[in-house]
């Protein structure tokens, strides 16, 4: 493997590991010797990569450093195209359009032979004709999740009863026929999972919820079985 490609692979490996990873594990993952790994890490550090290393703990890449842009492999392009097609089929209209725009931007800067790989991608995603349509603009929910802000929703539960809720949205989960939003519900004073197709109205409040979303997501996952549309 060429040295430039090896350095890129090392950067990618460090990005994949959010927690510190040992030199032995990195070397094994990359198929190189520990001595080569140490040499490559020193090279990246000289080029400005903020790689922190501590004996007994491992290496971690601090955010903010990128190598000069390099070409995608054919497999990477097929993964990107497949992902964008899945989002176009399953996401809301704005997210689907964004997926298409992202692939168009990538395609525009590719050399001709790789551009043809995008156009002739061998993988596809079937249309989901049985999916339950959302009655609200899902981008409002996504924006609230990013900003860690509460939402006011009108919700129809499994029994058909309508309630007004204030929720702290955490994620959007995609299932075969529905999208589900796990959230802290102020009415129930507990975590609940809300089916998006049963949200009749949604309004951004602009109020931040008092806890960090990342902490709440961990708490949700620890307390719940695999994400399901819980009874509300």
Is the CATH number 1.10.10.10 carried by domain 3-61? Answer: yes
The C-alpha atoms of residue 33 and residue 125 are separated, in whole angstroms, by 40
The predicted pLDDT at position 201 comes to 96
CA distances to 3, 45, 147, 191 from 138, rounded to whole Å, are 45, 42, 14, 20
Q: Looking at the structure, give the CATH architecture of the domain made up of residues 138-223.
A: Roll (2.30)
| pLDDT at residue 69 is higher than 80 | no
Q: What global pTM score does this model have? A: 0.62
- Kindly indicate the confidence band of residue 85, based on its pLDDT and cuts at 50, 70 and 90: confident
Sorted by sequence, the CB contacts under 8 Å of residue 167 that are 6+ apart come out as 150, 151, 153, 181, 183, 184, 185, 186, 192, 194
How close are the terminal C-alpha atoms of the chain, in Å?
A: 55
The predicted pLDDT at position 232 comes to 59
Share above pLDDT 90 across residues of the chain, in percent, rounded to a whole number = 40
- Kindly indicate the confidence band of residue 68, based on its pLDDT and cuts at 50, 70 and 90: low
The predicted pLDDT at position 119 comes to 76
Lowest mean pLDDT among 23-27, 65-69, 144-148, 221-225: 65-69
Mean pLDDT over residues 39-45, rounded? 89
- Kindly indicate the confidence band of residue 36, based on its pLDDT and cuts at 50, 70 and 90: very high
All structural domains of the chain with their residue ranges: 3-61, 74-119, 138-223
**Quick one: three-class SS letters along 51-99?**
EEEECCCEEEECCCCCCCCCCCCHHHHHHHHHHHHHHHHHCCHHHHHHH
State the chain's maximal CA–CA distance in angstroms: 65
Which two three-digit tokens encode residue 12?
């990618």
- Kindly indicate the confidence band of residue 132, based on its pLDDT and cuts at 50, 70 and 90: confident
The predicted pLDDT at position 215 comes to 92
| pLDDT at residue 1 is higher than 70 | no
Mean pLDDT across the chain, nearest whole number?
Answer: 84
Mean pLDDT over residues 9-15, rounded? 86
DSSP 8-state code for residue 189: T
The predicted pLDDT at position 225 comes to 65
Share above pLDDT 70 across residues of the chain, in percent, rounded to a whole number = 88
Same topology, domains 3-61 and 138-223? Answer is no
Lowest mean pLDDT among 39-48, 88-97, 182-191: 88-97
- Count of Cβ atoms closer than 10 Å to residue 108 Cβ: 8
| pLDDT at residue 66 is higher than 80 | no
């Amino acid at each position: 493997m060429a040295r430039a490609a090896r350095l890129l692979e090392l950067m990618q490996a460090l990005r994949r590991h959010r927690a510190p990873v040992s030199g032995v594990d990195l070397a094994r993952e990359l198929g190189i010797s520990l001595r080569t790994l140490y040499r490559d890490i020193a090279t990246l550090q000289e080029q400005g990569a903020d790689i922190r290393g501590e004996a007994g703990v491992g290496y971690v890449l601090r955010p903010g450093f990128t190598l000069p842009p390099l070409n995608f492999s054919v497999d990477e392009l097929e993964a990107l195209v497949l992902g964008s097609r899945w989002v176009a089929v399953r996401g809301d209209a704005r997210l689907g359009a964004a997926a298409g725009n992202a692939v168009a931007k990538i395609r525009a800067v590719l050399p001709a032979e790789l551009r043809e790989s995008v156009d002739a991608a061998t993988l596809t995603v079937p249309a989901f004709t049985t999916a339950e349509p959302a009655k609200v603009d899902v981008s409002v929910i996504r924006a609230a999740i990013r900003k860690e802000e509460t939402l006011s929703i009108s919700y129809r539960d499994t029994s058909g009863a309508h309630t007004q809720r204030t929720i702290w949205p955490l994620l959007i989960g995609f299932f075969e026929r529905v999208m589900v939003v796990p959230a802290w519900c102020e009415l129930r004073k507990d975590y609940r999972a809300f089916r998006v197709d049963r949200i009749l109205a949604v309004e951004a409040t602009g109020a931040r919820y008092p806890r960090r979303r990342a902490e709440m997501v961990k708490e949700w996952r620890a307390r719940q079985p695999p994400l399901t549309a819980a009874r509300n």
